[in-house]
Amino acid sequence: MAAPVKSTVDTPTSSVQNLTIGKALNLGLRRAMEADDKVIVMGEDVGKLGGVFRITDGLQKDFGEHRVLDTPLAESGIIGTAVGLAVRGYRPVCEIQFEGFIFPGFDQISSQVAKLHYRTQGKVKVPIVIRVPYGGGIGAVEHHSESPESLFSHIAGLKVVSCSNPVDAYWMIQQAISADDPVLFFEPKRLYHSGALKAPVDTAATPDPLFASRVLRRGDAATLVAYGPSVKVCLDAATAAEEEGRALEVIDLRTLSPLDLEPVFESVRRTGRLITVSEASAESSLTSEIAARVQQECFYSLEAPVLRVTGFDTPYPPSKLEEHFLPDLDRVLHAVDRALDW
């Protein structure tokens, strides 16, 4: 391996930068590569093109082709190669171009990435990050708009996280890369370049722990729990509800496996009502798990059943119909009305 190549991009003098989620991820990857020359980025079109969503833009130019690798169109090969690199001491960061393309690599992820540390009784570490752009809202066809995070959250040995804002995007990708466990990093692709979510990111701040949920907005009427692209929907719903005199508490899960539900339990014990929101289908999902756990821990505090606002239990629809498939402000507020009217 050649000597580490430092970024040639000028660093702003201020530690605070106004970034979109996409730019924050790019900067986070850059910082991780500067900090450790064992970090390697690999995937389809991540080099010269900078990825189809331009998240890796400029990295190959600044760090070289030996650290930012354009791979063949073979997800199983990408993940399998990453396993070999991890065993040899590297920290591979794999990009799956779209979430629907991940399944040719599912065997490698579930049988090797998730199990190798346990199989070797802790002798072998597998510090792999698998970046997965996921979710709908970009006008694409099936295999480009799904939400398969529940499948991977069920696999023992994997850590699964999802960012919803630029601050978390910047810090969480670096924390995932520095972790010794394999991490699936789900990124809400429709929010990559959203100007509405552009926010100041203090690159000198102390970040929250990676595997911790966060209360984003306090309230006492009902609790909204979401992650990834659905967090913005819940925050918008809380703003709309405030105009009607209803204070909704909003919690961003951030970590999907392991789940950090203590803040959710504490909130539900105060509000007595819970609505979980996700683009994924409802059956056998993370929203199912949250509902079951809250029912176990907060049964005597609940004033209404736990309600779920999700995608439907169907294949992802054509783009002209996706606005009816995805949870939106109206569907969330309707669930709030049902919970409060119980």
Q: Which residues are catalytic?
A: 144
β-bridge mates for residue 222, sequence order = 248
208 is written with which tokens? 């929250």
| Tokens 């690159």, located at residue | 203
Instruction: Give CA–CA dist 128/182, Å, rounded.
Output: 5
Question: Which of 184, 175, 161 is closest to 105 using CA atoms?
Answer: 184
Structure tokens at 257: 């496996």
What are the distances in angstroms from CA 190 to CA 129, 135, 193, 239, 286? 21, 7, 7, 21, 21
Strands (E), the chain: 16-19, 39-43, 68-70, 91-95, 129-134, 159-162, 183-188, 199-202, 214-217, 222-226, 248-252, 255-257, 274-281, 307-311
- Do residues 319 and 227 make contact, with C-beta atoms less than 8 angstroms apart? no
